[in-house]
Amino acid sequence: MTTLLDIRGLTKTYGPITAVDDVSFSVDQGEVLGFIGPNGSGKSTTMKVVTGFLAPTSGSVEVAGRDVTRYPLEIKRRIGYLPEGAPLYGDMTPISLLKFVCKVRRLSNEQTKRGIDYAVEKLHISNVLYQPIETLSKGYKRRVGLAQAIVHEPDLLILDEPTDGLDPNQKHEVRELLKEMSGKKAVIISTHILEEVEAVCSRAIVIAKGKLVADDDPLSMQARSRLHNAVGIRIPSAQAQACIDVLNGVDGVEQVRRSVETAATVELLAIAGDGADILGAVRNAMDEKGVKVEEIFVERGRLEDVFRDLTYAVEGLQQDPDANMEASHA
C-alpha cells in the first residue's frame, strides 16, 4: 500500500501556544481518516501544515515521499484542500471558480476540461454551474468547495469539517459524496461528529491539546466504550424491579441501568464487566424468570463515550461517571 502522508514528530507553536505537540501518523492510499478532537485541539493547524499553508516548528511532513517544505508546489499539486469554514468567492459562479482554480494551478486546457467534468460529475453540481455562488444553498456551496478541492484530481484530500453547519439531509448527502470521492485517494476529514466517523471513515485519530491520544479503526475504538457488549432489553414495566434483581445476579454483569420508559414498558441496560459477551446469559436469565422480553439488543459501544474518556483528562475536565449512560439505540 502506498503511503501518501507521513507525519513525524510534528510540533507547531504560535508564540507561547503549542497547537500541535509531537504528532506522528501516516495515511495510506485508500484510507479515509477521521481526525477528531475537541475545539482548539490542533486539527486545523495540523491540516494547514500538511497543505503547506503553515511551516512546521519542528518535525517533518512528507506527501508521497516528498517533504512539504522543500517541494511546496509539487505537494500542492497532489493535495486537495477544503479549508475550515470553506470560504468561496460569492460573486463568482461555480464554473468560473473552477476555471479560475485550474488557471491558478496551471492546468493545461485538456486537464482543465477533464478536471471540471470530473468534479462536476462527482459533486453533482451541473444544475447550478451558472448561478452566483452567494445565491446557492449552504449544501451546494459546500459541494462547490469540494469540487474546487478535487478539480486537479489530487491523491490526498484534506477536508476541514466538510459537513459543519449543514442540515441532517445535506450532511448525509455530503457523506455519500465523500464515500464516492474517496476511491483510490487518501482522505483526511476533521469533524466533531462522531457518527460521521462511523459512517465514512476506515480509521480514526483522536487529538487532544495538540497530542495524539488514539489511532484505531472505528469499530475497535467503539469497543473501548464502557457500553461495549452491554445488553439492552425492553420489558413490561411491572416486571422492572424483579428483572433488575435477576440481572444483577447474572455472571459477567457489572451494573444494571434503567432507562427509556413508556407507560407500559421499560428498557434496562445490563453493562458487561470488561466488555464480556453476556447476551446468552441475559437471555437465559430472562427465560428462566419467564419474562416476556419485547426487544433485546447488544450495544457495540459509543464513540462519544470513548472520545470523552480519551480527551477529558487531557483537557483537565471532570467527568460525570454517569454521563451518556442512558440506553438508547437507533
Ligand X SMILES: Nc1ncnc2c1ncn2[C@@H]1O[C@H](COP(=O)(O)OP(=O)(O)OP(=O)(O)O)[C@@H](O)[C@H]1O
Residues that bind ligand X (CB under 6 A): 14, 17, 19, 37, 39-45, 84
Smallest gap from residue 45 Cβ to Mg ion (A):
8
The C-alpha cell at 248 is: 444483577
Residue 119 interface partner, choices Mg ion, ligand X, none, CB cut-off 5-8 Å depending on type: none
Residue 219 interface partner, choices Mg ion, ligand X, none, CB cut-off 5-8 Å depending on type: none
What does the alpha-carbon distance between residue 277 and residue 252 come to, in Å, rounded to a whole number?
Answer: 8
Smallest gap from residue 222 Cβ to Mg ion (A):
24
Q: Which is nearer to ligand X, 20 or 64 (CB)?
A: 20
Is residue 44 near Mg ion by the rule CB under 5 A?
A: yes
Q: Which is nearer to Mg ion, 43 or 142 (CB)?
A: 43
Is residue 93 near Mg ion by the rule CB under 5 A?
A: no
Backbone angles phi, psi at 24, to 5 degrees: -135, 130
What would the x/- binding string for Mg ion be over residues 108 to 147, using CB under 5 A? Answer: ----------------------------------------
Smallest gap from residue 288 Cβ to ligand X (A):
50
The C-alpha cell at 287 is: 427465560
| Stretch of 20-28, 81-89, 141-149, 267-275 lying at the interface with Mg ion (CB under 5 A) | 81-89
What does the alpha-carbon distance between residue 81 and residue 67 come to, in Å, rounded to a whole number?
Answer: 17
For the four alpha carbons of 123, 127, 129 and 131, in that order, the dihedral sign comes to: negative
Q: Which residues pair with 256 in a beta bridge?
A: 270
Residue 112 interface partner, choices Mg ion, ligand X, none, CB cut-off 5-8 Å depending on type: none
Residue 163 interface partner, choices Mg ion, ligand X, none, CB cut-off 5-8 Å depending on type: none
Question: In 3D, which of 151, 154, 204 has the Cα closest to residue 32?
Answer: 204
Residue 48, class by beta-carbon neighbours within 10 Å (0-12 exposed, 13-18 middle, 19+ buried)? buried
What does the alpha-carbon distance between residue 280 and residue 287 come to, in Å, rounded to a whole number?
Answer: 11
Smallest gap from residue 130 Cβ to Mg ion (A):
32
What does the alpha-carbon distance between residue 274 and residue 227 come to, in Å, rounded to a whole number?
Answer: 9
Residue 40 interface partner, choices ligand X, Mg ion, none, CB cut-off 5-8 Å depending on type: ligand X
Q: End-to-end CA distance of the chain, in Å?
A: 36
Which residue matches cell numbers 448527502? Answer: 173
The C-alpha cell at 223 is: 469497543
Smallest gap from residue 209 Cβ to ligand X (A):
8
Is residue 46 near Mg ion by the rule CB under 5 A?
A: no
Smallest gap from residue 16 Cβ to ligand X (A):
9
Smallest gap from residue 12 Cβ to Mg ion (A):
13
Smallest gap from residue 160 Cβ to Mg ion (A):
6
- How many residues lie near Mg ion (CB under 5 A)? 3
Q: Which is nearer to ligand X, 42 or 218 (CB)?
A: 42
Q: Helix H segments across 188-329?
A: 194-200, 218-222, 240-248, 279-289, 303-315
Q: Which is nearer to ligand X, 3 or 18 (CB)?
A: 18
- Write down how long the chain is: 330
Rg of the chain taking only CA atoms, in angstroms: 24
Residue 51 interface partner, choices Mg ion, ligand X, none, CB cut-off 5-8 Å depending on type: none
CA atoms within 13 A on the CB side of 11: 11
Residues of the shown chain interacting with Mg ion in the complex, contacts defined by CB under 5 A: 43-44, 84
